[in-house]
Chain A
Amino acid sequence: MSKKLLSVKELPKGDVLEAGTAILFETGDWRSDRPIFNKELCIDCKRCWLYCPDMSILLDENKKVSGIDYKHCKGCGICSFECPVKPNKAITMEKEVK
């Protein structure tokens, strides 16, 4: 971790930052629970995609739910909690380390 930090003079004034930089910050290693996506069960209602606080539900070229972005998913489990499919959810949570 020897990233060069900007000085007072180099910093833009007024705490103005480039937008969308969260993508550079990989929060996937915060995860202790891992969401597992089951394409077979998915009804593509996109509730997981709507609720995910880290925009970590991936969509394919046809805008259908296709999986999880494990680089950014923090394992909060909201996607699984919100999944309406019964009796078995299309996203289930597993321990990261078994």
Chain B
Amino acid sequence: MSKDIFEVRWHGRGGQGAKTAALLFGDSALDSGMYIQAFPEYGPERMGAPVASFNRLSKKPINVHCSISNPDLVVVLDPSLIGKVNVIEGLQEEGKIIVNSSLSPKEVSEKLGVKNIKVYVVDASGISKETIGRDIPNTPMLGAMLKVSGLLDFDKTIKGIEIKLKKKFASKPEIIEGNIKAIKRAYEEVKSA
């Protein structure tokens, strides 16, 4: 039943890797023995257009196949979406939101206009520029959400992600190293009000 299922919504812009992050998170959760779903919201697929993707995680098999309207956790890859997309839509009362931003959690809370929702902030763009060399916020945001959700064993997950990245970027070890560093740093640096 739905209360046994942890639901996540990712917000990003086309090209920022919201779909990849959801797939990677789902795949990692699978490695820790959970039942998972990861799916994108398909609309016009254009670079820069607002996009969303989703995860469901559960210890039991997941039957439900409708869209996610009341997520437990929202991850915002791009702070410029705030105000343009209703990123807190349907967020549960005890819900959490993680925003990629260089502002403080208090400032982001004010921008979001929320009181009961726990707001987390990490400068994923800054981290990715330093570790990967480009603004690719999805992997550091994955690190932050691993911390905030607390659902998966971090060390085990990071090892799994490394293996998956090695398959994808066999000829570019620096990309793998940069991404792993980014995930670790975001895991440490994410903070709440």
Q: Do any beta carbons of A and B sit within 8 angstroms of each other in the complex?
A: no
Using CB atoms and an 8 Å cutoff, list the residues of chain A in contact with chain B: none
